[in-house]
């Protein structure tokens, strides 16, 4: 057997070992990047020209089995937004943990448009390709918020966090914390590939409707 055939055999075995969910993630993420790269470039330019600060916003989040990872987004807020987070906590429009302010003064004009159409999430396709995230799963919690989760809520960390999920297609920020956890745990308990595909299709409608997108 030649070295090239041995290498091909190793690659074939590696692909056979890839789960259907991982294969779906890789296939759709690579396809999305191939199609959406002009939009990604335009979005990056809009962020860079609209306000001071980096184009990308990288934040530590809770990943699989509670392990932290760096999640990447297009920056949609002012450069010093994180420093003012605690001062705005009492303005949250959402019940329970997870700060969500409908008219958040830290969000830039371009950022508000990006959030309305979920364009700020596009860079997370690279998180999916890397294996830190999946296309579908519970949204990754902030490290400090995850530390305050009740015990049952940590069960959501048994699967990879996702770009979209049951929470996103059920109203996003308009869904309270406890209901979000219920949806996440329902996903963890009943996951199958058909569920992921259904949620992906429902995501397009959710983005179009814009409910809870702030």
Which pLDDT score is estimated for 66? 95
Query: CB–CB of 169/183 below 8 Å?
Result: no
pLDDT reading at 8 higher than 60:
no
Q: Which residue has the tokens 């089995």?
A: 65
pLDDT band at 15 (very low <50, low <70, confident <90, very high): very low
Average pLDDT, the chain: 85
Query: CB–CB of 101/107 below 8 Å?
Result: no
27-59 tens-digit pLDDT: 999 999 999 999 999 999 999 999 899 999 999
pLDDT reading at 148 higher than 60:
yes
Q: Which helix (H) or strand (E) holds 125?
A: helix 124-130
Q: Which of 164, 207, 213 is nearest to 187 (CA)?
A: 164
pLDDT band at 12 (very low <50, low <70, confident <90, very high): very low
Distance separating alpha carbons of residues 173 and 82, to the nearest angstrom? 19
pLDDT reading at 107 higher than 50:
yes
Name which residue leads in pLDDT, 101 or 208.
Answer: 208
Q: Residue 41 has which token pair?
A: 């470039």
pLDDT band at 176 (very low <50, low <70, confident <90, very high): confident
Could you tell me whether strands 56-62 and 162-164 are parallel, antiparallel, or unpaired per DSSP bridges?
A: unpaired
Which pLDDT score is estimated for 3? 47
Distance separating alpha carbons of residues 40 and 122, to the nearest angstrom? 7
- List beta partners, residue 56: 74
Distance separating alpha carbons of residues 172 and 133, to the nearest angstrom? 18
Query: Any alpha helices (H) in 17-73, and if so which ranges?
Result: 20-50
Query: CB–CB of 152/128 below 8 Å?
Result: no
| 58 phi/psi in degrees, rounded to 5 | -110, 130
Which pLDDT score is estimated for 206? 87
Q: Which of 86, 195, 205 is nearest to 135 (CA)?
A: 195
pLDDT band at 185 (very low <50, low <70, confident <90, very high): very high
Which pLDDT score is estimated for 173? 72
Which pLDDT score is estimated for 97? 62
Q: Which of 173, 165, 47 is nearest to 111 (CA)?
A: 47
The mean pLDDT value for 78-84 works out to: 72
């Amino acid at each position: 057997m030649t070295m090239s055939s041995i290498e091909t055999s190793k690659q074939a075995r590696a692909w056979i070992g890839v789960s259907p969910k991982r294969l779906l993630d890789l296939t759709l993420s690579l396809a999305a990047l191939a199609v959406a790269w002009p939009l990604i470039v335009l979005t990056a330019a809009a962020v860079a020209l609209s306000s001071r600060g980096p184009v990308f916003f990288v934040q530590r989040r809770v990943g699989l089995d509670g392990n932290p990872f760096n999640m990447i987004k297009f920056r949609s807020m002012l450069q010093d937004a994180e420093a003012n987070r605690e001062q705005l906590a009492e303005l949250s429009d959402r019940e329970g943990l997870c700060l969500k302010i409908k008219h958040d003064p830290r969000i830039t004009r371009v950022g508000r448009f990006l959030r309305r159409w979920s364009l700020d999430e596009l860079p997370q396709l690279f998180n999916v390709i890397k294996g830190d995230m999946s296309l579908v799963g519970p949204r990754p919690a902030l490290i400090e918020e995850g530390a305050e989760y009740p015990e049952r809520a940590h069960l959501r960390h048994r699967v990879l966090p996702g770009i979209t999920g049951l929470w996103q297609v059920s109203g996003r920020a308009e869904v309270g914390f406890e209901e979000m956890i219920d949806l996440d745990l329902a996903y963890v308990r009943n996951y199958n590939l058909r569920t992921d595909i259904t949620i992906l299709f429902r995501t397009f409608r959710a983005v179009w409707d814009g409910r809870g997108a702030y």
